[in-house]
């Protein structure tokens, strides 16, 4: 029997390396729920045991049930029926039923609605494993942020109506945001929300590119204030499928074929207001999309892991010129870089998830259980603000890095397989097709950079790096810390140079600045893993395990990973800072001459 949790040493190591007890205590609010719900943990040890058991069960389900059906799901896709309903691929329907039976469709929902009340970190781990099995399934499983949004902002009546069915896996949802003329720029949404004489709300208009638009619970961003342009004219509504909701088409896509992408026409559809009017875009949808971006980062990790595994196995077994191709330096280098990129991305994603959990936890304490002592309250508020800023920085970074890394690993995996990778005999081509969307939906990589570079240049990245610097590290990585410190100085200089030249220049070199900051953050995280107190041995021989092959301590292997990552990125950081400080503005001044005129048809 396979198990995508047990066979991944890095996930199991990080599960033990990161302080799950702290997260459990915050999410369970001091374990007070154990008094009301039999299945709620009574202490940190019990909570962590629950996390481990659920991940183990999901790992087995992903490997033995979901993954074997993924190829058929990809080929079968979805069918738009004459009555406007959508029939999913058989394997997708079966997988959703299994997930509902496993009681994991309310992964992060509170106990009172039948949810598991797990931290976001656990959700990221689960999402990665499911995405490794079938990336398109994640587009339904990973939409649990819809339920979280209802829980955070809706009335109690709406919560009671929708959240228990969500947690039971009886319904699925959709984020109904984009329109034909409103992709990433949601402020220009035109779909109308209006009230009748009795105060009932209705929706009228078209939405496009809606993932799982045939779902049972639709969160719709709509213009409720016709006389007000921009985001302040938008509100968020919930509605259900019915005779006034028409799926007009299913998109014919490059990848993620098991996930239906719909164009929807709302013909005066009854709906209910979520929260308050005019707050649909900010904070409601902004919060929803931040969660979705972490979900796409986890999906990217799963796709990349699946693609890498095929390449690694193929390189060990395929012989050319009398040797396995993994003996060839060029192939060996590719595999090492793929593996290190995977572990760096996982380090960034999981720490982002941890930071988000702490941001939510500290904010909840401030709002619902503030300390009476003024000094303690002030300190708690400062923590809440700091972690909110960190989450705002790391979330777009994670989505950007993991999705770009996913595409690079999927591309290189095909290269390792050569002609075989281009054929449908291997899943490599499917992973490459599935990977492509990750840099696009829930905000393109370019938009993630725009969001992240603000945190880099405002000082948030420097403060987060200072927190990482203050941690305890093993002597084996002391020289790497010195190299990272040099990189931090280079980043400071590049930021000062950029800020002197204004926001346009910051956006022009945003990618370079963000890349530097991410490389430094991931460098410190990997050095921290190399300094971990977790006692865990891992195999180093091809195909080996603890029973039949050579093993070394994970921290020793992590030190090797950290060394190659930091030393290889140090020249890149220097080159990027030199590029930023050149002051080249030809993108602005010479654009027309460099790209030439638009060619007439």
Q: Quick one: three-class SS letters along 436-496? A: HHHHCCCCCHHHHHHHHHHHHHHCHHHHHHHHHHCCCCCHHHHHHHHHHHHHHHHHHHHHH
C-alpha distances out from residue 260 to 251, 296, 526, 575, Å: 8, 16, 38, 43
- pLDDT the model gives residue 483: 98
Residue among 543, 254, 178 at smallest CA distance from 410: 254
- pLDDT the model gives residue 545: 45
- pLDDT the model gives residue 600: 85
Instruction: Confirm whether 9-167+282-439 and 445-584 share one CATH topology.
Output: no
pLDDT, one tens digit per residue, over 463-497 is 999 999 999 999 999 999 999 999 999 999 999 99
Residue among 271, 219, 262, 276 at smallest CA distance from 242: 271
pLDDT, one tens digit per residue, over 8-22 is 999 999 999 999 999
Q: Is the pLDDT of residue 542 over 90?
A: no
DSSP structural state of residue 89: P
Mean pLDDT calculated for residue range 548-556? 87
Q: Are 189 and 217 in contact (CB under 8 A)?
A: no
Q: Does residue 11 or residue 180 have the better pLDDT?
A: 11
pLDDT, one tens digit per residue, over 73-94 is 999 999 999 999 999 999 999 9
pLDDT band at 544 (very low <50, low <70, confident <90, very high): very low
Residue among 514, 488, 509 at smallest CA distance from 498: 509
Residue among 241, 219, 293 at smallest CA distance from 449: 293
CATH of domain 445-584: 1.20.120.470
Q: Are 54 and 98 in contact (CB under 8 A)?
A: no
Query: Can you list the alpha helix ranges (DSSP code H) found in 154-285?
Result: 156-167
Mean pLDDT calculated for residue range 175-189? 90
Distance of CA 434 to the CA centre of its chain: 15
**Burial annotation 51-72 (CB, 10 A radius, 16+ → b, else e):** bbebbeebbbbbbebbbebbee
pTM of the model: 0.96
> Where do the domains of the chain lie?
9-167+282-439, 445-584
Average pLDDT for the chain: 95
CATH of domain 9-167+282-439: 1.20.140.10
- pLDDT the model gives residue 439: 98
Estimate the share of the chain in helix, then strand, then coil, as percent rounded to the nearest 5.
60, 10, 25
- pLDDT the model gives residue 547: 52
SS3 74: helix
Q: 588 CB contacts (<8 Å, ≥6 apart)?
A: 504, 508
């Amino acid at each position: 029997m396979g198990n995508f949790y047990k066979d991944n040493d890095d996930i199991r190591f990080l599960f033990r390396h990161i302080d799950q007890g702290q997260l459990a205590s915050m999410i369970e609010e001091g374990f007070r729920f154990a008094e009301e719900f039999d299945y709620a943990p009574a202490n940190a040890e019990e909570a962590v045991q629950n996390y481990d058991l659920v991940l183990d069960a999901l790992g087995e389900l992903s490997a033995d049930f979901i993954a074997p059906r993924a190829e058929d799901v990809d080929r079968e896709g979805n069918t738009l029926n004459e009555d406007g309903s959508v029939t999913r691929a058989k394997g997708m329907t079966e997988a959703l039923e299994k997930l509902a039976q496993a009681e994991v469709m309310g992964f992060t929902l509170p106990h009172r609605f039948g949810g598991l009340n797990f931290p976001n970190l656990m959700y990221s781990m689960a999402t990665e494993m499911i995405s490794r099995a079938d990336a398109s399934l994640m587009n339904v499983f990973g939409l649990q942020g819809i339920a979280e949004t209802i829980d955070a902002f809706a009335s109690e009546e709406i919560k009671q109506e929708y959240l228990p069915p969500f947690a039971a896996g009886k319904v699925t949802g959709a984020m109904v945001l984009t329109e034909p003329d409103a992709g990433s720029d949601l402020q220009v949404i035109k779909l109308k929300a209006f009230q009748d004489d009795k105060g009932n709300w209705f929706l009228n208009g078209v939405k496009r590119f809606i993932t799982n638009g045939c779902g049972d619970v639709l969160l719709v961003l709509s213009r409720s204030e016709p006389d007000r342009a921009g985001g302040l004219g938008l509100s968020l509504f919930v509605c259900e499928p019915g005779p006034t909701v028409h799926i007009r088409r299913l998109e014919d896509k490059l990848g993620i074929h098991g996930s239906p992408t719909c164009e929807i026409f709302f013909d005066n559809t009854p709906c209910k207001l979520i929260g308050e009017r005019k707050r649909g875009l900010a904070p409601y949808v902004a919060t929803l999309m931040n969660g979705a971006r972490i979900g796409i980062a986890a999906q990217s990790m799963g796709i990349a892991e699946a693609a890498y595994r095929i390449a690694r196995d193929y390189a060990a077994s395929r012989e050319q010129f009398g040797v396995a191709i993994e003996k060839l330096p060029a192939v060996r280098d590719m595999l090492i870089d793929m593996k290190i990129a995977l572990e760096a991305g996982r380090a960034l994603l999981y720490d982002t998830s941890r930071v988000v959990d702490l941001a939510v936890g500290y904010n909840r304490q401030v709002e619902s259980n503030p300390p009476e002592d003024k000094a303690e309250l002030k300190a708690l508020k400062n923590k809440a603000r700091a972690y909110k800023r960190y989450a705002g920085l790391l979330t777009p970074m994670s989505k950007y890095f993991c999705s770009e890394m996913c595409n690079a690993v999927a591309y290189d995996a095909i290269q390792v397989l050569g002609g075989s990778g281009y054929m449908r005999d291997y899943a490599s081509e499917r992973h490459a097709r599935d990977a492509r969307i990750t840099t696009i939906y829930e905000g393109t990589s370019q938009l993630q950079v725009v969001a992240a570079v603000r945190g880099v240049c405002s000082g948030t990245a420097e403060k987060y790096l200072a927190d990482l610097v203050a941690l305890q590290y093993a002597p084996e990585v002391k020289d790497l810390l010195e190299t990272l410190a040099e990189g931090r100085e280079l980043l400071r200089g590049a930021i000062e140079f950029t800020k002197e030249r204004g926001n346009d220049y910051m956006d022009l070199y945003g990618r370079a600045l963000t890349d530097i900051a991410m490389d430094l953050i991931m460098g410190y995280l990997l050095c921290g893993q190399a300094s971990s107190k977790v006692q865990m041995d891992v195999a180093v021989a091809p195909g080996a395990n603890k029973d039949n092959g050579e093993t070394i301590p994970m921290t020793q292997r992590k030190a090797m990973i950290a060394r190659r990552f930091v030393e290889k990125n140090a020249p890149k950081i220097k080159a990027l800072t030199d590029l930023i400080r050149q002051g080249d503005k030809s993108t602005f001044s010479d654009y027309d001459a460099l790209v030439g005129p638009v060619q007439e048809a």
